[in-house]
Amino acid sequence: MGIEKIYGFGIIGTGAIADMHAEALKCIPNAKLLGVFNRSFEKANSFKDRHTCLAFDNLDDLLNFEGLDIVCICTPSGLHEDIAIKAIQKGKHCLIEKPLEITTEKCDRIIRTANANNVKLGVIFPSRFYPESKKIKAAIDKGRFGNLAIGSAYVKWSRTEAYYKQNAWRGTWELDGGGALMNQAIHAVDVLQWYMGEVESVQALTGNFRHKEIEVEDTAVAILKFSNGALGVIECSTAIYPGFLKRIEISGTEGSVIIEDADITRWEFEKEETGDELVVKKDKKHESVNGGVSNPMAISFLGHQLQIENFILSVSTGVNPFVDGNEGRKSVRIIEAIYESAATGKSVMI
């Protein structure tokens, strides 16, 4: 048996989420972090010291580094396109932090470039990779809910004024692409549409109740109609005190489930099956982590680790990643429609 290939990784951008990628890579036997790039060599050096890799202040030098197979793009959202296309054209597989980009037009250019250059493209949505999330999806696919009726996502978090002042790109249309919806709630938007299916139309309102210094919304509410006829609600905010765990509720004519962060708290079906009584655990293994409710970094890197492992499998076997570019595009399209509806006061078809 041959020696398993060790995949060389580079990280582009050294914001807080880049540390999650680096910590996850340390736990994957067939992955090695080779280097990091930041336009600020000082920041790249600081990252290098924390995670034992090389520091680059020239992107081409990182992309041309021998043994580099995959790059994790962790820059501000509105910078993803140019960096991704450059990396893809050099034959590097790209795993991009959510959102893929801040408009579907930009997303499409990245997807087309990846397809043309035969490289793998993935978008970070770690919530899909938790066993509990997959358990709900399996129950939906099995038909246990009967007819899906309502799918709801609630992301009511707290962010301080200092959070937005920490980086100039935060809370801007140009680089953040939106506010609480595009930056924080997009994880819930992704999982909700993964469970419920395609969104047909949205009607929405947005507001800003706490963070007056930013360009974008800190609160949004949307009503959704799904292509299967079901209805839905998205409520999100970064203006809430004290903040609550992300919650998704899926309800149908024969069953309902609630998941809070990574824990299933309700699991009830008209037709019970063996093992149902074990799904809601009394010992909440995630209680020590607040799910990013009031601290963006109070999250586990387990989801990132599971997704990176899946991406390596994709690169090694040629199959599509579990969350590829087309999947990553879906939540951006929904959020675009929500913003359009809030701006025009009209229902928007997707």
Q: What is the CATH number of the domain that holds 309?
A: 3.40.50.720
Q: Same domain for 171 and 317?
A: no
| pLDDT above 90: percentage of residues in the chain | 93
pLDDT greater than 50 at residue 287: no
Q: What is the mean pLDDT of residues 160-188?
A: 96
Residue 2: inside a domain? no
Q: Same domain for 279 and 141?
A: yes
The pLDDT, as a whole number, for residue 299 is: 76
Nearest to 334 by CA among 127, 145, 188: 188
**Positive or negative torsion for Cα 195, 150, 181, 201:** positive
Q: Which residues contact 286 (CB under 8 A, 6 or more apart)?
A: 261, 262, 263, 300
Q: How confident is the model at residue 286 (pLDDT cuts 50, 70, 90)?
A: very low
Q: Same domain for 194 and 171?
A: yes
Q: What is the mean pLDDT of residues 214-222?
A: 98
Residue 251: inside a domain? yes
The pLDDT, as a whole number, for residue 283 is: 59
Distance CA 252, CA 267 (A): 12
Instruction: For residue range 37-52, list pLDDT tens digits in order.
Output: 999 999 999 999 999 9
Q: How confident is the model at residue 291 (pLDDT cuts 50, 70, 90)?
A: confident
Q: Same domain for 22 and 82?
A: yes
Q: What angle separates helix 325-344 from helix 186-196, to the nearest 10 degrees?
A: 110
Q: Same domain for 148 and 241?
A: yes
Residue 165: inside a domain? yes
**Positive or negative torsion for Cα 111, 113, 119, 121:** negative
Q: Same domain for 99 and 143?
A: no
Tokens at 99, concatenated: 């959102």
Q: Same domain for 118 and 134?
A: no
Q: Same domain for 21 and 59?
A: yes
Q: Same domain for 141 and 48?
A: no
Nearest to 11 by CA among 315, 309, 321, 308: 308
Is the distance from CB of 255 to CB of 238 less than 8 angstroms? no
Q: How confident is the model at residue 293 (pLDDT cuts 50, 70, 90)?
A: confident
Instruction: For residue range 105-163, list pLDDT tens digits in order.
Output: 999 999 999 999 999 999 999 999 999 999 999 999 999 999 999 999 999 999 999 99
Is the distance from CB of 129 to CB of 194 less than 8 angstroms? no
Which domain CATH number covers 175?
Answer: 3.30.360.10
Q: How confident is the model at residue 101 (pLDDT cuts 50, 70, 90)?
A: very high
Q: Which residue has the tokens 């246990």?
A: 144
Instruction: For residue range 272-283, list pLDDT tens digits in order.
Output: 999 999 999 875
Residue 98: inside a domain? yes
Residue 231: inside a domain? yes
Q: What is the mean pLDDT of residues 21-43?
A: 97
Among the ranges given (24-33, 287-296, 337-346), the one the predictor scored with the smallest mean pLDDT = 287-296
Q: Same domain for 156 and 176?
A: yes
pLDDT greater than 50 at residue 180: yes
Residue 250: inside a domain? yes
pLDDT greater than 80 at residue 236: yes
Q: How confident is the model at residue 284 (pLDDT cuts 50, 70, 90)?
A: low
Residue 1: inside a domain? no
Q: How confident is the model at residue 288 (pLDDT cuts 50, 70, 90)?
A: very low
Q: Same domain for 211 and 121?
A: no
Instruction: For residue range 8-21, list pLDDT tens digits in order.
Output: 999 999 999 999 99
CB atoms < 10 A from the CB of 142, how many?
Answer: 9
How do 263-269 and 255-260 pair as beta strands?
antiparallel
Residue 342: inside a domain? yes
**Total number of domains constituting the chain:** 2
Q: Same domain for 148 and 269?
A: yes
Name the H helices within the chain: 16-26, 41-51, 59-63, 80-89, 104-116, 131-142, 161-166, 186-196, 302-317, 325-344
The pLDDT, as a whole number, for residue 300 is: 87
The pLDDT, as a whole number, for residue 3 is: 65
- Domain membership of residue 184 as a residue range: 128-294+331-349
